[in-house]
Structure 1
Amino acid sequence: MTKKRIFYGFLALFVLYLCYLAYIFILSPKTNLQSIYLIPKDAVFIIESEQPVESWEKVSQSEGWHHLKKNDYFSELTENIQRVDTVFNDNHKLFEFFDNRSLFISIHMISPKDYGIFYVLDLKRIAKLQLLKTYLNTLLDDGYVLSKRSYHEHEILEVHDRESKETMYLAFIKNQLVASYTHTLVEASIDQYNEPVLGRNLNFLEINQKVGHEDLFRMYVQYHYFDDYIKQYSDRPSDWVKRVSENFLFSGFYFDLDENSMLTANGYTNISAVNEYYLEALQKSGTSERSIPEIAPNSTALYISYGFDSFAEFYKNFEMVQQNDPEQFESYQKGIAKVEKFLKIDVKENFVSWIGDEIAVLQIQSHISKGKNDVALVLKTNDAEDAKTNLDFVVEQIRKKTPVKFKAVNYKDYEINFLSIKGFFKMLLGGRFDEFDKPYFTQIDDYVIFSDNPNTLKGIIDKVVEEETLGTSETFRDFEQKFDSESTVFVYSNVPLLYDNMYALADAPTKQRMRKNKDFIICFPQVGLQLSPEDDLFESRLVLNYQDVEEVKKAINVPKDIPKSTPKTQNSAAAQITDAVFNLRPIYPTDLNADSFSKKYANGNIWFEVDIKDGLKHGRYEEFYPDGTRKIRGRFRNDEQAGTWRYYNKEGDQVHKKRF
């Protein structure tokens, strides 16, 4: 009888426990809190996954991630993510419990040079089981110490690792588990519970609602803090980062990873109400197919394309959106009117009318201008003859109304001219185009190309003549097929070339960091971003093409060494001196109407001096030793050496000559 009572007693307790579980999981009212309400408001990046374990396993097993883990930054990121697992890793069932539950990971700047990672896991109804909190004690061995403290009426659990001396901070807030190795982030999360900011930001919610949920993971970018994040890597201000932070609000992407470690992200981006007006105008002006790669050199490091139904439509919208700022619009109109009155031209007739459906900015790798970016602005025409007629008219008006006397230069059957209207493109299109102050220009078929450096135009002409353009590059064409054929904004980067351009401009500490991380930068040799208008947003597509870094290095073209005019041994006997002493370096004058071009030694003495015509060597050439003694003398005709050339030793004696 006693055994039966005990049995029925246990049975009753078991039934009561089942009823309790049924109440917890079925009958109890749903008072779930959304994870986003607990993310501190200053998140730079937010990663979200509905299948965190499955998604992380797919990413961590990819070839690209295995390579990136060798880098300190990604190694630390991987370690931080995996350290959250270590508390549970010994219990496989609890580890599996993470899957099918929403996990958010956010990155925050916690100091000017350091960031913290924050985690939010939706426990759903199981969070109501008080056993869950106490169960943590059973997961910890002697290597950990668990302590508790209170913050704003919430309990924070502190799990201290004796070996690493690090502490993970956790808190249960309704149905959510929050965690971080930075205690201020957990405290900020509790503050967000009382007064949520990010979760109620209408601009964020607009993007969040548009991004899908059936994919590998999702990532959001809050551009307001993007500038602060980039500053941890360089103290030098970056103009493009500043513009991105000011012009965009949020982006949201959903990601997919293929078997070749190519990462593809689709999503949406919204723009700030206080933006550079051309962005808002672009959003209202449609799309176009990209054709400028036909003349963009294959040495292009960065290709930024702006497309629209027509430039005339874009320009109308550009003027319209500026009217939201009456003071700015008045200043804009005065600037245009001043130019029109002085030169007696009509901007809409002489410029806007012939521009077609695409303009682009090219940043090009160059062996000419070391330490500077070669930048060009390309305007596709809707009528090549009309463009030439109007530009000729504008140049003639400049010649009549200003003291500038520039004679057009012919280079490989393409005419290079000079548009001496200071700040014209900045005035016409906004600050994004202030790099083109007083540009030279040339026309190649249906494209008019502007650059402040005439040698950039020569380089583009050379590549077109040699048929070495993006349009003829199979690598570029294959990558471009990952995107829609039409777009409003399209950004393509050849990362190894862009790395070289950025390295040339960097300061010494930045160069050191870049050298250290080069293999982890160039392993994504192609990166592309596409924006197309959808309602008041930009539909966005981002593609990162991973490639084995050794294959990338093999594909990089190493520039050939330019022979030096100085023989290896200055004191060689005359019999040892060969014709190689007359192999001279090329010159790149920036004033194509100058009569001569020269360079000097560090001591101020002339290194060499040559007569030029239309930017080409034509006439006498003299080269000197650092002490001023003549070294070489000869003549050029149409950029070719001609007649008898003479070479002298340091005593001034002729020791070699050659007739060309």
Structure 2
Amino acid sequence: MSNKLLVFLAGLLLISALGSYVYYRRTVARVPVDAWALVPDDAVFVIATRDHPTLVRHLKETQLWDNLTALPYFQQFEENAVLLDSLTNSRNNLLRFLGRKTVLASVHVTGPGSFDLLYQVPLNSVREFRQVRGAAEALGRLPRFMVQTREFHNQVITDIREKGTGAGVTYFNYRNHLIASASPLLIEKVIARIEHEGQPSVAADFHNIDYQKLKGVDATLLVNYRQLPPFLNLFFRPELRPSLEMLTGLGKNGLLEMQLAGNKVVFNGFTNPETARDALHQRLRGQMPQRLRMADILSLRTAVLLHLGTQKPATLRQPMPALPDSTVSTALDSVAALLDGEVALCYLASASARQAPARIALAHTADARRMAVALGRLRRATGGSPSFERVGPYQIYQVGIEEVPARLLGPLFRGFGAGVVVQAGSFVAFAQTSAELRPWLQDVVAGKVWAKSPTQVAFLEEMQPLARLSVIMDAQNSWNVLLRALKEDRRAGLLRNESLFKRFPQLALQLVPPADSEQEKGAQYFTQLLLRHPAVNNVAQGALAAEDGGSLTFKSGLMTPPLLVNIANARTPGTLVQDSLRVLHYITPENVATWVDTLSGPVVGPVHRLPVADASGFLLATTNQLYLFDPQGRLAPHFPLNLPDSVEVSSLTPSPQSRGGATRLLVGGGGGNFFLFDTNGNALPNWQPKRLEFSPAAPPHYLSVAGSDVIVVLLENGYIFAFDKQGSTYPGFPISVGARLHTAAFVESGPTLQRTRLTVVTQQGERVQFNLSGYVLTRSRISTWSRGCTFRIIPDQVKRSYVIVRQEANGLLTLFDAAGRRILERRFTTSDEKPVQFFDFGTGRRLFAITEPGPNQVYLYNSKGKQLGGRTFPSTAPTIGARFDTGTNSWILYRTEGRALRRTSVTAE
């Protein structure tokens, strides 16, 4: 072969390869992968998450995170994440990798007694692909792991297994889409779907719905009701399967949004009706949903309630073996004809898992008098005994024939045998024995029912008022009921996860048909799954009494201003407030109260952020104690710190955070006394206390310069001290500014003492700047002064700039910028000192808030001194909180008004 021909063929091969690459990049790779289309159609659940940092934060705020991390599955997952972090020499590598990607996790039944999960994670860059490959190669170098690759239908699959146990993960990359599972079978199913394109997606019925675009949605959950019975059969005893299949017969699939909010988890969405001929939906189709009216007779012992709201309960009846006597059949038909509105199957709490729970079938009748007659006719037709057992005003009779509830209400109500019956007002109740009815009736007579329980009433108020199906569970009462219903090999798993199961003891699943359009094509059930923790355990004395848009109203008046705390991965801050009962409440950025704690006294000064177990906690002080809470409201070890009885805290200043260094807490103890502690409660020498002759003009400044602690104290007599942490005075101090001080200093940090500068303003209107070497650098006059006139420096919220306030005894207040230029001047009605706040969010977005304590009003001004909104805003606290929302070009105000915490939007001008 000639060289020319060889070169020509090589060039042709190169051009073909280049053309194939360009075609792939421009035609194939540019078409986005539909992750839902890759999920095998036998998925039971599919959960889609996007904003993972926010999801983790919400899990921690609802205190679910601790319960989840206690599960063996999550502990193994966490161990693997730590292993990956060690291999990549980074922290939280997995959370950063997931970031805000759309991740799908689906649950599949993979065997007679097992299920597995399938994960899908997009790879957005070559760097991420290399991270995955690098992690697999690093695991392959460890002796405890074995990494192998194989080809399956033209796809390269990687298996990572632990040599001792065989546990591990199988994954492959499809068009920059990482697909992984512990089950190789699931991976092969995905590859089979890729080979047969065009198959309908598991989410095909919801292709135009994306809940993730809605504000406050943490995840999306798809439920395949047709696959639920096989999945639940993995856990529950076989005899329960017919009932489970019947209850899941209302829908075939549903898509729900998930929101984590304070003391509850809410799933809202829609379910497509089941189209099978004998399904429960077909029997109840066209009937209006009904209210749950039996709260007056539902005992507080109720563990599980299966409630069907149906206008015609007779539609639930199915053919059963004929009765020998036609008179009995006629009497049964008469009873069935009088039933309407609602029927329910109620399980009562049992003392142990070895004891079968009491089962009661309940049905409503609109004509109690005719029902009593019909029940008497049925007893006579069956030859039943006229004797009865009395409980209060109620009479329990023998039924006389087998399976009366099933003959009246369908197969869901099987298993009652030749039981007993009692009529309680407008409701008829059936049970297997009188011993099962007796405790229920005793509770009804004693008033121990849902309608008279504040906890249950609050729960019912959060549920949908009208529903076709409601499944309501009380985790405390149903614990032994569930243990008995589970297979023997699954009980240990429930016992290990008891804390997670009881985290939200109230559960309700409801399906609500459309009011007027159920017969129309495309009609869907509105579906709600509510998991709730009673507010009495979560929001204590400060339980929310009302919620109106951007406000929360508490039972007691609020005595502190809103204390805003920045939260990672949140656009808006969290809020701490304290009420008049000294209860501290934490409000999430979503405006939901999550935890409370009763303090020993009113909060003194601002809230500081301090690390607590790899998280940012809340440090605050009362008049005699120091508190440090983690983000979930739990006290850090050794806290609260108790101060001597003679000490009344006036300020709390922590040392700047340094890597590896211990945090020190500087406490102002009233007058000129100062104390210094570490977070373990150890008192530092020479600070027990450090006594100064005059009172401080403001809380001290705790600085760190070149690795050394510098504590700057400004006294009212104009003297300024600088101490180290041993209590010794720095060279050059004290210095005197020549006049009285009534304000803190503005600090400009530098790398050395000489280049660190502080600025103060005296009560004679003179601005003085000095450094930490003890030298006064500049003096300049801001304004004239007179008797009764005060000057203050007001830094912005991040202490990058400042303004100066001049206030006279006649109510005249003047604001100057750092250059001495007048910003605004206003005369107020009252003459007392007015708190002034300065917020600076850059590019001219400045806000000045002036609070007038007498009339309890806040005045807002922009950078040009123009009043915003053309009005004042009520505030019963001396200060407010503010943030700027760039999306709406508006200021978000946080203020307290009596018992209400309000969040108000004001357009920037």
Output the TM-score relative to the length of structure 2.
0.49
Q: Which runs of no fewer than 5 residues in structure 2 stay unpaired?
A: 1-20, 142-146, 539-909
Distance 1:341 1:473 in 2: 45
Contact 2:290–2:342 at 8 Å: present in 1 too? Answer: yes
Distance 2:229 2:109 in 1: 11
Letter aligned with residue 525 of structure 2: F
Structure 1 match to 2:121: 121
Distance 1:185 1:85 in 2: 27
Structure 2 match to 1:295: 297
The Cα of 1:530 is off from its aligned counterpart by 0.9
Report Cα offsets for 1:265-306 as digits up to 9, x if no partner: 112334544476544323431111111111111111112211
Find 1:252's aligned residue among 246, 252, 255: 255
Structure 2 match to 1:383: 367
Distance 1:197 1:88 in 2: 39
Structure 1 match to 2:17: none
Q: Which has the higher strand share?
A: 2
1:205 aligns with 2:204: yes
The Cα of 1:57 is off from its aligned counterpart by 4.8
Q: Return closer, same or farther for 1:235/1:343 CA change in 2, 3 Å cut-off.
A: closer
Find 1:342's aligned residue among 322, 327, 338: 327
1:464-483 to 2 correspondence within 5 Å? 464-483=444-463
Letter aligned with residue 265 of structure 1: F
1:489 aligns with 2:459: no
Distance 2:134 2:80 in 1: 22
The Cα of 1:66 is off from its aligned counterpart by 0.8
Structure 1 match to 2:270: 268
Letter aligned with residue 343 of structure 1: V
1:175-254 to 2 correspondence within 5 Å? 175-195=176-196, 199-200=200-201, 204-206=203-205, 212-213=211-212, 214=214, 215-233=217-235, 237-239=239-241, 240-241=243-244, 243=246, 249-254=252-257
Distance 1:80 1:547 in 2: 35
Contact 2:236–2:487 at 8 Å: present in 1 too? Answer: no
Structure 1 match to 2:155: 154
Structure 2 match to 1:354: 338
Distance 1:369 1:232 in 2: 19
The Cα of 1:31 is off from its aligned counterpart by 2.3
Report Cα offsets for 1:530-556 as digits up to 9, x if no partner: 1111445432111112479999xxxxx
Structure 1 residues 287-296 or 81-90, which shifts more?
81-90
Contact 2:331–2:374 at 8 Å: present in 1 too? Answer: no
1:538 aligns with 2:541: no
What CA RMSD, in Å, does the superposition of the two structures yield over aligned residues? 4.1
Contact 1:283–1:537 at 8 Å: present in 2 too? Answer: no
Structure 1 match to 2:287: 285
Contact 2:513–2:526 at 8 Å: present in 1 too? Answer: yes
1:450 aligns with 2:430: yes
SS in 1 for 2:189: helix
Contact 2:353–2:483 at 8 Å: present in 1 too? Answer: no
Letter aligned with residue 520 of structure 1: L
Q: Return closer, same or farther for 1:37/1:295 CA change in 2, 3 Å cut-off.
A: same
The Cα of 1:383 is off from its aligned counterpart by 1.8
Distance 2:487 2:260 in 1: 35
1:319-338 to 2 correspondence within 5 Å? 331=319, 335=322
SS in 1 for 2:370: helix
Structure 2 match to 1:169: 170
Structure 1 match to 2:355: 371
Contact 2:331–2:378 at 8 Å: present in 1 too? Answer: no
Distance 2:198 2:479 in 1: 38
Contact 1:529–1:542 at 8 Å: present in 2 too? Answer: yes
Contact 1:207–1:268 at 8 Å: present in 2 too? Answer: no
Q: Return closer, same or farther for 1:550/1:87 CA change in 2, 3 Å cut-off.
A: farther
1:577-588 to 2 correspondence within 5 Å? none
Q: Return closer, same or farther for 1:95/1:377 CA change in 2, 3 Å cut-off.
A: closer
The Cα of 1:442 is off from its aligned counterpart by 1.4
Structure 1 residues 61-70 or 242-251, which shifts more?
242-251
1:410 aligns with 2:394: no
Q: Return closer, same or farther for 1:61/1:157 CA change in 2, 3 Å cut-off.
A: farther
Contact 2:405–2:430 at 8 Å: present in 1 too? Answer: no
Contact 2:402–2:417 at 8 Å: present in 1 too? Answer: yes
SS in 1 for 2:503: coil
Distance 2:331 2:465 in 1: 34
Q: Return closer, same or farther for 1:420/1:207 CA change in 2, 3 Å cut-off.
A: farther
SS in 2 for 1:297: coil
Q: Return closer, same or farther for 1:169/1:286 CA change in 2, 3 Å cut-off.
A: same
The Cα of 1:362 is off from its aligned counterpart by 1.0
The Cα of 1:516 is off from its aligned counterpart by 3.8
1:566-585 to 2 correspondence within 5 Å? none
Letter aligned with residue 204 of structure 2: L
Q: Which runs of no fewer than 5 residues in structure 1 stay unpaired?
A: 1-20, 320-328, 552-660
Structure number with the bigger relative contact order (C-alpha 8 A, sep ≥ 6) is 1
Letter aligned with residue 511 of structure 2: L
Distance 2:530 2:151 in 1: 45
SS in 1 for 2:476: helix
SS in 2 for 1:496: coil
SS in 1 for 2:205: helix
Q: Return closer, same or farther for 1:241/1:446 CA change in 2, 3 Å cut-off.
A: closer
Q: Return closer, same or farther for 1:300/1:54 CA change in 2, 3 Å cut-off.
A: same
Letter aligned with residue 109 of structure 1: V
The Cα of 1:253 is off from its aligned counterpart by 1.9
Letter aligned with residue 522 of structure 1: K
Structure 2 match to 1:648: none
Distance 1:367 1:531 in 2: 31
The Cα of 1:423 is off from its aligned counterpart by 2.5
Report Cα offsets for 1:45-83 as digits up to 9, x if no partner: 211123345434533664122123213244346667888
1:547-566 to 2 correspondence within 5 Å? none
The Cα of 1:218 is off from its aligned counterpart by 1.2
Distance 1:300 1:172 in 2: 50
The Cα of 1:341 is off from its aligned counterpart by 2.6
1:36 aligns with 2:20: no
Distance 2:208 2:119 in 1: 21
The Cα of 1:367 is off from its aligned counterpart by 5.8
Letter aligned with residue 287 of structure 1: P
Letter aligned with residue 391 of structure 1: L
Report Cα offsets for 1:448-491 as digits up to 9, x if no partner: 21112112222222111111011111111111222111111111
The Cα of 1:499 is off from its aligned counterpart by 0.9
Distance 1:118 1:228 in 2: 18
Distance 1:458 1:520 in 2: 33
Q: Return closer, same or farther for 1:85/1:472 CA change in 2, 3 Å cut-off.
A: farther
Letter aligned with residue 424 of structure 2: I
Contact 2:87–2:138 at 8 Å: present in 1 too? Answer: no
Q: Return closer, same or farther for 1:79/1:432 CA change in 2, 3 Å cut-off.
A: farther
Distance 1:221 1:540 in 2: 11
Letter aligned with residue 254 of structure 2: S
SS in 1 for 2:299: coil
SS in 1 for 2:387: coil
Report Cα offsets for 1:12-71 as digits up to 9, x if no partner: xxxxxxxxx999999988422311222233323211123345434533664122123213
| Bigger Cα Rg | 2
Contact 1:340–1:346 at 8 Å: present in 2 too? Answer: no
Q: Return closer, same or farther for 1:526/1:81 CA change in 2, 3 Å cut-off.
A: farther
Q: Which has the higher helix share?
A: 1
SS in 1 for 2:513: strand
Find 1:431's aligned residue among 393, 407, 411: 411
Distance 1:172 1:508 in 2: 39
Report Cα offsets for 1:210-253 as digits up to 9, x if no partner: 67333211122334444444455466653344545677533332
Distance 1:86 1:384 in 2: 71
